[in-house]
């Protein structure tokens, strides 16, 4: 069964010691294997049953943990794999790519892992090794001057796992859609900042300067509305904040205060734009958006309901920007969305937040105002 598959909760987990015998899991860090063992479950295959009858090996790394399997190849030949042998240390089908079936010669046990997940973990762990010494990347990006020495805080020790870089976070968290080519640079430019309970990290109305990931601790998000302070949410380890002002180019729309002592990972706005905003924000013209909608995409209006009710595009669904985080898990992951507002400011923030969470979201360039000018 897949890691993160809730249906596997009643199955026994695969121990860290067992995972360490498998290739390429044996190259992962001890901390990563410990974490991975908590979400890997054993799948039992009865004698005579085909392990791939319901789900084939495509896109998966399937390992034989116990028993014996008869592998059926596309050329009509067969190959037996017995647990405890060198062949069983490798994922089934890696050496025999044209694999059609895997019948259990006797009662057997397997574990399945997504290939993408393994590659993500291997990439982050291998690049973390090169950054674990704590040396900062002091070479400024093109067009920028070096930061003052007083601001050159020690680089984060990526050899230590945090909620931000947990298995689940890398699979579906804020950094899950980060282009692999940017990972090493991002690791070098993040700075670890220790914070105290009650400390205000982001203040409503201030200019956006940093993007933050919460390594440890909890924060309260609040907003001044009509002279009263309204608590909007509580965020915790693995969550991100500060991106809306950086993406939309507006001032902070909320205050973020530490609810406990903690550690934040901080990224300057220029680095955020270069490494995260530009790769994730897919802008499309109104004409291109219309073609996409004709092919099955859907308009997503992130303005206030009062704006949406009065003036909306045909077939659009309304999720105001302030509610976009609540829509994670509710919107259809398989659906292509064209995100729009009046000018493109609110929709830029919404499109980034959605893309960051793995949604297929594109931004309507210049919003409805741009569409009107073109029309």
Residues 97, 33, single domain; the answer is yes
Any domain includes 267? yes
Domain assignment present for residue 239? The answer is yes
CA-to-CA distance for 346 and 349, rounded, in angstroms? 5
Is residue 153 domain-shared with residue 257, that is, in the same domain?
Answer: yes
Q: Are residues 361 and 316 in the same domain?
A: yes
Predicted confidence at residue 129, as pLDDT, reads 62
On the CB side of 152, how many CA atoms lie within 13 Å of its CA?
A: 11
Residue 65 structure tokens: 């943990």
Based on the fold, state whether residues 331 and 225 are members of the same structural domain.
no
Write out the chain's pLDDT in tens, 375 residues: 334 344 444 579 999 999 999 988 988 888 788 888 888 899 999 999 999 888 877 788 899 999 999 998 877 888 999 999 999 999 886 654 567 899 999 999 999 988 888 888 877 777 766 555 443 443 344 343 334 333 333 444 554 556 677 777 777 777 777 777 788 888 889 999 999 999 999 999 999 999 999 989 999 999 998 889 999 999 998 889 999 999 988 999 999 999 999 999 999 999 999 988 888 889 999 999 999 999 999 999 999 998 998 889 999 999 999 899 889 889 998 999 999 999 898 999 899 889 888 899 999 998 998 776 544
Selection from 125, 168, 164 nearest residue 36 by Cα: 168
Hey, which bits of the chain come out as E strands? 43-45, 60-73, 78-82, 99-114, 191-195, 200-202, 210-216, 218-225, 228-236, 240-241, 255-258, 262-268, 283-284, 298-301, 317-318, 336-340, 360-364
Q: What is the average pLDDT score of the chain?
A: 83
Supply the CATH number for residue 48's domain: 2.60.120.10
**162/260 same-domain check:** yes
Q: How many domains does the chain have?
A: 3
In angstroms, what CA-CA distances link 142 with 137, 145, 159, 271? 14, 8, 28, 11
3-state secondary structure (DSSP) of residue 288:
helix
> pTM for the complete prediction?
0.69
Is 171 a member of any domain?
yes
pLDDT (0 to 100) of residue 95: 55
Q: What Rg value do the Cα atoms of the chain yield, rounded?
A: 24
**Domain identity same for 223 and 350:** no
Residue 128 domain-assigned (yes or no): no
Range of the domain at 64: 6-116
User: Does some domain include residue 222?
Assistant: yes
Q: Strand locations in 48-153, DSSP E? A: 60-73, 78-82, 99-114
Identify whether residues 143 and 262 lie together within a single domain: yes
Residues 217 and 138 in one domain: yes
Cis peptide before 118 (omega within 30 of 0): no
Structure token digits, residue 57: 């090996």
Residues 165 and 242 occupy one common structural domain: yes
Identify the bridge partners of residue 240 per DSSP, sorted by sequence position: 213
Question: Does 129 reside within a domain?
Answer: no
Whether residue 139 is found in the same domain as residue 268: yes
Neighbouring-strand partners of residue 316: none
**Does residue 124 lie within any of the structural domains?**
no
The Cα 241–Cα 229 span in angstroms is 19
Specify whether 143 is located in the same domain as 231: yes
């Amino acid at each position: 069964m897949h890691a993160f598959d809730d249906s596997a909760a009643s199955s026994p987990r695969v121990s860290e010691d067992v995972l360490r015998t498998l290739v390429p899991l044996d190259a992962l860090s001890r901390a990563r294997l410990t974490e991975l063992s908590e979400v890997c479950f054993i799948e039992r295959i009865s004698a005579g049953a085909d392990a791939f009858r319901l789900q084939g090996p495509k896109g998966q790394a399937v390992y034989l943990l116990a028993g014996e399997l008869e592998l059926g190849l596309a050329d009509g030949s067969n190959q037996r794999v017995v647990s405890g042998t060198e062949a069983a240390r490798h994922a089934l089908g890696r050496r025999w790519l044209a694999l059609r079936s895997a019948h259990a010669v006797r009662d057997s046990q397997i574990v399945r892992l997504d290939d993408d997940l393994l590659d993500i973990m291997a990439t982050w762990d291998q690049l973390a090794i090169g950054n674990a010494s704590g040396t900062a990347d002091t070479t400024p990006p093109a067009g920028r001057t070096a930061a003052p020495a007083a601001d050159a805080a020690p680089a984060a020790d990526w050899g230590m796992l945090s909620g931000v870089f947990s298995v689940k976070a890398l699979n579906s968290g804020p950094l899950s859609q980060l282009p692999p080519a940017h990972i090493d640079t991002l690791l070098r430019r993040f700075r670890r900042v220790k914070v105290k309970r009650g400390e205000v990290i982001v203040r409503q109305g201030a200019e956006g300067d940093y993007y933050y990931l919460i390594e440890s601790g909890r924060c309260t998000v609040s907003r001044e509305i009509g002279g009263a302070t309204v608590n909007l949410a509580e965020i915790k380890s693995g969550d991100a904040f500060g991106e809306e002002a950086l993406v939309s180019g507006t001032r902070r729309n909320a205050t973020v205060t530490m609810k406990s002592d903690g550690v934040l990972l901080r990224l300057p706005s220029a680095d955020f734009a270069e490494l995260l905003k530009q790769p994730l924000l897919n802008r499309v013209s109104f004409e291109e958006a219309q073609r996409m909608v004709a092919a099955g995409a859907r308009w997503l209006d992130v303005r206030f309901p009062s704006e949406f009710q009065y003036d909306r595009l045909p077939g659009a669904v309304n999720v105001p920007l302030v509610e976009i985080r609540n829509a994670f898990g509710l919107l259809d992951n398989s659906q292509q969305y064209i995100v729009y507002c009046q000018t493109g400011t609110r929709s830029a923030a919404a499109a980034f937040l959605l893309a960051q969470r793995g949604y297929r979201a594109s931004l309507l360039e210049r919003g409805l105002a741009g569409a009107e000018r073109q029309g």
